[in-house]
Amino acid sequence: MYQCPHCGKPAISLIRKIFLGPGAPVPCQACEKTVKVTFSDWLKSTLPGAAVMIAALFFDSDLMVYGLSLIGLALMISLHLLWVPLVKE
């Protein structure tokens, strides 16, 4: 669970944070105030994974394309979970 910037209590689960974007604020499970992520933080965590996925397009081997695409997706998710803080709306 990730802490709410309003009340400091657990706000959202891991799965909910994975799908949380800058245009989709969600209510805290404890205090019901809205939390979100900023576009700049979201973009910083998404770009490295997107770069790996784009690089995958330049390979002829299906194994390389699928492998790099999965690595890019895993990188996007892990950076989002580690680097993107919840902020007050």
Three-state SS letters, 23-47: CCCEECCCCCCEEECCHHHHHHHHH
Residues 6+ apart with CB under 8 A from 27: 33, 34, 35
Question: How many domains does the chain contain in total?
Answer: 1
pTM of the model: 0.85
pLDDT tens for 32-63 read 999 999 999 999 999 999 999 999 999 999 99
| Distance from C-alpha of 10 to C-alpha of 1, rounded to nearest angstrom | 5
| Distance from C-alpha of 86 to C-alpha of 56, rounded to nearest angstrom | 31
Whole-number pLDDT of residue 37: 95
pLDDT band at 3 (very low <50, low <70, confident <90, very high): very high
Residue 59's alpha-carbon distances to 10, 28, 45, in angstroms, are 43, 43, 24
